[in-house]
A and B are shown apart, each in its own frame.
Chain A
Amino acid sequence: MRGIWFWIALVAIFVAGNVLTLTIENTFLFYAGYTVLQFVVLATAWNILGGFTGYVNFGSAAFFAVGAYTSIALQKWLGLPLPLLIVAGGVVAGLIGLGVGFLTLRLRGVFFAIATLALAVVLETVVTNWEYVGGAKGTYVIPPDGMLYFDEFIEGLFAVMLLLALFAVGVAKAINDSRFGRGLAAIRDDEVAAEATGVPTLRLKLISTTVSGALMGIAGAPYPLYVTYVDPVSAFNLTYAVNAIAMPLIGGTTVWFGPVIGALLLGVMQQWLTVVQLFEGAGQELNLLVVGVMLVGFVILAPQGIVGLIRRLFGRRKA
Chain B
Amino acid sequence: MFSIDLLANAVVAGVLLGGFYAAVALGLTIAFGQLDVVNIAHPIFIIFGSFCTYVAHERLGLDPVVTGVLLMPFFFVIGVALYSVYYSSFERRGDDALRGLAFFFGILFIVEVLLIMTFGVDYRLVETAYIGESIHLGGVGIPFRLLVPFLVAAVMTAGLYFYLSRTFIGRAILAVSQDRLALQLMGADPVRIKRIAFGLALATTAVAGALLIMIQPVEPSVGRLYIGRAFAIVVLGGMTSISGTFVAALLLGVVESLVATFIGPSWAPAVAFGFLLITLAVRPAGLFGR
Residues of A that sit less than 8 Å from B by CB: 50, 54, 56, 58, 103-104, 107, 109-111, 113-115, 117-122, 124-126, 128-129, 238, 242, 245-246, 249, 253, 285-286, 288-289, 291-293, 295-296, 299-300, 303
A to B CB contacts below 8 Å, 13 in the list:
A58-B105, A107-B280, A109-B97, A113-B38, A115-B280, A118-B277, A121-B273, A124-B269, A129-B264, A238-B221, A238-B224, A285-B113, A292-B106
Q: Is the CB of A289 within 8 A of B110?
A: yes
Q: Is the CB of A107 within 8 A of B284?
A: yes
Nearest neighbor of B268 in chain A, beta-carbon distance? A125
**In the complex, chain B residues whose CB is within 8 Å of the CB of A114:** 38, 40, 227-228, 231, 276
Nearest neighbor of B111 in chain A, beta-carbon distance? A292
**In the complex, chain A residues whose CB is within 8 Å of the CB of B117:** 285-286, 289
Given A103-B281, A129-B267, A303-B95: A117 and B102 within 8 A (CB)?
no
Contact count band on B: 35 or more
Q: Which residue of B38, B109, B116, B235 contacts A295 across the interface (Cβ within 8 Å)?
A: B109
Q: Which residue of A118, A291, A296, A299 contacts B231 across the interface (Cβ within 8 Å)?
A: A118
Looking at the assembled complex, report how far the CB atom of A264 sits from the nearest CB atom of chain B, in whole angstroms.
20
Q: Which residue of A113, A125, A246 contacts B266 across the interface (Cβ within 8 Å)?
A: A125
When chains A and B are docked, how far (Å) is the Cα of A125 from the Cα of B256? Answer: 14
Q: Is the CB of B110 within 8 A of A293?
A: yes
Cβ-based interface call for B70 (8 A): no
Cβ-based interface call for B188 (8 A): no
Cβ-based interface call for B99 (8 A): yes
Looking at the assembled complex, report how far the CB atom of B206 sits from the nearest CB atom of chain A, in whole angstroms.
22
**In the complex, chain B residues whose CB is within 8 Å of the CB of A293:** 106, 110
Looking at the assembled complex, report how far the CB atom of B65 sits from the nearest CB atom of chain A, in whole angstroms.
28
When chains A and B are docked, how far (Å) is the Cα of A300 from the Cα of B84? Answer: 12
Looking at the assembled complex, report how far the CB atom of A101 sits from the nearest CB atom of chain B, in whole angstroms.
12
Given A125-B266, A238-B224: A115 and B276 within 8 A (CB)?
yes
Q: Identify which of residues 215-237 in chain B touch chain A, using a CB-to-CB cut-off of 8 Å.
A: 221, 224-225, 227-228, 231-232, 235
**In the complex, chain A residues whose CB is within 8 Å of the CB of B281:** 103-104
Given A56-B102, A292-B106, A299-B89: A121 and B113 within 8 A (CB)?
no
Nearest neighbor of A122 in chain B, beta-carbon distance? B273
Nearest neighbor of A281 in chain B, beta-carbon distance? B117
Given A109-B97, A121-B227: A289 and B114 within 8 A (CB)?
yes
Cβ-based interface call for B270 (8 A): yes
**In the complex, chain B residues whose CB is within 8 Å of the CB of A242:** 105-106, 109
Q: Identify which of residues 104-153 in chain B touch chain A, using a CB-to-CB cut-off of 8 Å.
A: 105-107, 109-110, 112-114, 116-117
Nearest neighbor of A289 in chain B, beta-carbon distance? B113
